[in-house]
Amino acid sequence: MAVEPLPFVQDFAGGYAVGITQAVYFLVSFLAVYLVGRLVVQPLFERVLRRRNLDAHARRPLKRIVSVAILFVAVSVAFGFAQFGNFLTSLATIAAAATLAVGFAMQDVIANFVAGVFIYTDEPFRIGDWIEWDGNEGVVEDISLRVTRVRTFDNELLTVPNSVLTNGVVKNPVAKDKLRQQFMFGIGYDDDIEEATDIIVEEAESHPDILDDPAVSVRLTELGDSYVGLKSRFWIADPSRADFVKTRGEYVTAVKQRFDEEGIDIPYPVRTLDGDVDIEVAGETVTDHIEA
């Protein structure tokens, strides 16, 4: 059905009345749909995101997608309302061909985009989390729909494609705001195992950054060549990489000092060399047996 020109446009535009009327219909319908989207749809969508407890950075790219969708719907409705049928059909054909060409050229970008959506919905990690993957580790500084930026503990910034993080195994040591650590203490075979165990537990309980619940545990796990291995397992609350290294170092140092005070030995490996050595003296070979 053809568009009837508006009367006031017909009076002064003559043969251009239909085109001008279509432009007016397009502009009015576009503004109406776009304003409804911005004033109604976007606030509702942001409320939904807030109820899901997404932080501001996570909401930003999703809001951008909604803005683009509102713009696309407004243009589509405006084209239909103005009855730009032939133009819209041609535009759709061109867009389909362009989409196919761009799709082949941007497979990696699209894969990273989809991976970014999964990261936002599945939340395997969040900004501020410490993650490990493929031999790398660091703290997540930024998550976009294409890449994730991770600050390593050497202060290097890694820009990681999202598909790398969704296609492989990502370890999030502090996903539950707690980190379990373990350390092997070696004592001599002549030392008192119960006394050493009590010292290890007491020093963990007295450290302010080591949790009481879950409690520290100590188990005899190794009988080495020169030592008895007591493995301590303890938990640290909401640690950063620097915090847990500092806490573990302080804890191990305190145990070592207590061991020294109580006369508990921390043995070191002993190697015995046994064999014969040939020594040439004044043209004669002398064989000597050494043991060390």
- Select, from the ranges 53-57, 100-104, 228-232, the one with the highest average predicted confidence (pLDDT): 228-232
Looking at per-residue pLDDT, the higher value among 103 and 142 belongs to 142
Where is average pLDDT lowest: 32-46, 112-126, 134-148, 150-164?
112-126
Count Cα neighbours of 239 within 13 Å in the Cβ-side half-sphere: 22
CATH 2.30.30.60 fits 124-167, yes or no: yes
Contacts of 127 (CB under 8 A, 6+ apart): 55, 57, 58, 140, 141, 142, 143
For the chain, give the mean pLDDT. 77
Q: Residue 280 pLDDT > 70, yes or no?
A: no
Q: Residue 216 pLDDT > 80, yes or no?
A: yes
Terminal CA-CA length for the chain: 106
Looking at per-residue pLDDT, the higher value among 284 and 34 belongs to 34
CATH code given to domain 178-262 = 3.30.70.100
Distance, in Å, from the CA atom of 247 to the CA atom of 207, rounded to the nearest integer, reads: 8
With cut-offs at 50, 70 and 90, classify the pLDDT of residue 76. confident
pLDDT value of position 28 = 84
Give the residue extent of every domain in the chain: 7-105, 124-167, 178-262
With cut-offs at 50, 70 and 90, classify the pLDDT of residue 105. low
